[in-house]
Amino acid sequence: MTFTAEDGTGLSGSNSYTEVIFGDDYATLRGLDTWMTLNPTQKERALVRATDYIDKNFQFIGSKRTSTQALQWPRWEAYDPDGWTLSGIPVALQQATIEYAVRSAIQELQPDPSTNSVGGWIQEVEERVGTLLERTKYADGAISRTMTPYPAADALLSRLIVRGGIRLERA
């Protein structure tokens, strides 16, 4: 599979909400040095990871434009809070994709949870050396996964998602 940025028509093979060149311009203007140190292939991979993260974790306003499009955007019946139709790929979505991509170049956006040897989710670990205390708290059966907040990127998407449209609980 090759890197293919969505052009706003609902491509069946797209895997990014924006092009590397848009990311370069956005990052340069904002001094996002991490982005500028990546080579083109690393940038494409970061954009794909960021797009995957967005599509898996947010419920957007409106509905997908076609049944064959690979990504959640473009959308039908998508309006901004002022009532303007959102067509193609909104600039805020492209900007958020870059913001998440920068973070994905530093660390995994949504790492698998820590588990014990039988698959129980580790919710909290406390270790102390003086007087030797080690405590591990496991989550009960019905747990909610939390997502790391990324305020700059999350805020860009806030006008594009359904109220309460974040599928996972924020930490």
Check residue 110 and give its pLDDT: 83
pLDDT tens string 10-60: 999 999 999 999 999 999 999 999 999 999 999 999 999 999 999 999 999
Cα–Cα distance for residue pair 46/81, rounded to 1 Å: 30
11 vs 140: which has the higher pLDDT: 11
Global pTM value:
0.79
pLDDT tens string 60-94: 999 999 999 999 999 999 998 899 999 999 999 99
Cα–Cα distance for residue pair 25/52, rounded to 1 Å: 22
Four-residue CA torsion sign, 100, 106, 112, 113: negative
Check residue 48 and give its pLDDT: 98
Cα–Cα distance for residue pair 15/20, rounded to 1 Å: 12
**Cα torsion through 164, 169, 170, 171, rounded to 10:** 150
Check residue 142 and give its pLDDT: 47
Question: Cis peptide before 74, with omega less than 30 degrees from 0?
Answer: yes
pLDDT tens string 115-133: 555 556 556 666 766 667 6
Q: Does residue 8 come out as left (phi exceeding 0), alpha (psi in the -120 to 50 range) or beta?
A: left
Find the helix packing angle between 91-106 and 20-30, rounded to 10°. Answer: 80
Check residue 165 and give its pLDDT: 47
1 vs 69: which has the higher pLDDT: 69
Q: Is 165 helix (H, G, I), strand (E, B) or coil?
A: strand
